[in-house]
């Protein structure tokens, strides 16, 4: 089986300890995790990280993700199945958009207060991936762009980089608890990353992402920002808090059992 290691850009020790570091296979040392502190941009930090990685499969996780018991064992099984169907696959994730603009995923999102998506099989070829969890097959040579600013859209960028090299990326059915805060704005840092991506990938635009499609037309991004502003101001009662004990939610939802049974 393949080896796995985890990297995480973090800035809140309490959030990290409550979620990622509480994940059973990480907490007991079965899976190696490296925490990157003080990063000014996720893509640059992960570019450096993957060049130092030694495992076959490198997982890049948000600090507020909780991986249920058995998750990494199941990941190894899925990666082996992907290798058999597509030996040159590059990147995988847990939520993404297909080239046709269809969303697939399966995870609990605390900010939304719901299970997003549901079980699906087989893995779907994607045009972009959400950054909560990104999985890179190191031998594919797929790299993050160190010039991409801030902490957004690097999931889309690495999929496009892999595609440019003739390799595919996939969304897989392997649920986690994303113990996140609700997204209430797309701030200047998102806009900076968005504009960078529009310049870099102008030859393939428009291009789907999990938040708003990349296009030289400014109105889709403007409309999305306005909708989030409306929700923050007028619908704050629909926002949900994080869990203190994400492991309880994982067990309630059957994510632990699903991971164990699938091995």
Q: What is the pTM of this model?
A: 0.93
* Percent of the chain whose pLDDT exceeds 90: 83
Q: Give yes or no for residue 133 having a pLDDT over 70.
A: yes
Strand 133-137 to 91-93 pairing? antiparallel
Total structural domains within the chain = 1
The pLDDT-based confidence of 111 (bands split at 50, 70, 90) is confident
For residues 106 and 120, the answer to whether their CB atoms sit within 8 Å is yes
Write down the pLDDT at residue 263: 44
Segment 177-229, tens digit of pLDDT: 999 987 667 999 999 999 999 999 999 999 999 999 999 999 999 998 888 77
Write down the pLDDT at residue 204: 97
| Full domain range(s) for residue 172 | 4-261
The pLDDT-based confidence of 242 (bands split at 50, 70, 90) is confident
- Residue 97 to residues 17, 85, 173, 207, Cα–Cα distance (Å): 30, 20, 14, 10
Query: DSSP 3-state assignment of 118?
Result: coil
Give the DSSP letter of residue 182: P
Segment 22-57, tens digit of pLDDT: 999 999 999 999 999 999 999 999 999 999 999 999
CATH of residue 131's domain is 3.90.550.10
């Amino acid at each position: 089986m393949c080896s796995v290691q985890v990297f995480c850009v973090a800035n809140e020790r309490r959030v990290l300890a409550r979620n990622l570091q509480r994940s059973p296979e990480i907490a007991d040392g079965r899976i190696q995790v490296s925490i990157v502190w003080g990063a000014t941009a996720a893509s640059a930090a992960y570019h450096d990280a993957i060049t130092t990685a030694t495992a076959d499969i490198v997982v890049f996780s948000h600090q507020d993700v909780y991986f249920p018991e058995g998750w990494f064992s199941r990941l190894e099984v899925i990666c082996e199945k992907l290798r058999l169907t597509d030996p040159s696959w590059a990147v995988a994730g847990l939520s993404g958009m297909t080239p046709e603009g269809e969303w697939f995923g399966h995870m609990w999102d605390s900010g939304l207060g719901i299970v997003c998506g549901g079980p699906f099989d087989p893995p779907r070829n994607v045009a972009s991936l959400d950054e909560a969890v990104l999985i890179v097959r190191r031998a594919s040579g797929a790299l993050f762009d160190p010039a991409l600013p801030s902490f957004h859209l690097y999931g889309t960028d690495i999929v496009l980089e892999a595609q440019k090299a003739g390799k595919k990326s996939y969304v897989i059915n392997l649920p986690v608890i994303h113990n996140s805060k609700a997204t209430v704005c797309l701030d200047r840092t998102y806009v900076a990353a968005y504009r960078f991506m529009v310049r870099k990938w102008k030859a393939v635009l428009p291009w789907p992402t999990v938040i708003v499609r990349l296009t030289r037309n400014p109105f889709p991004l403007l409309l999305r920002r306005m909708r989030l502003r409306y929700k923050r101001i007028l619908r704050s009662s629909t926002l949900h808090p994080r869990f203190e004990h994400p492991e309880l939610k994982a067990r309630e939802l059957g994510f632990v059992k699903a991971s164990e049974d699938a091995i």
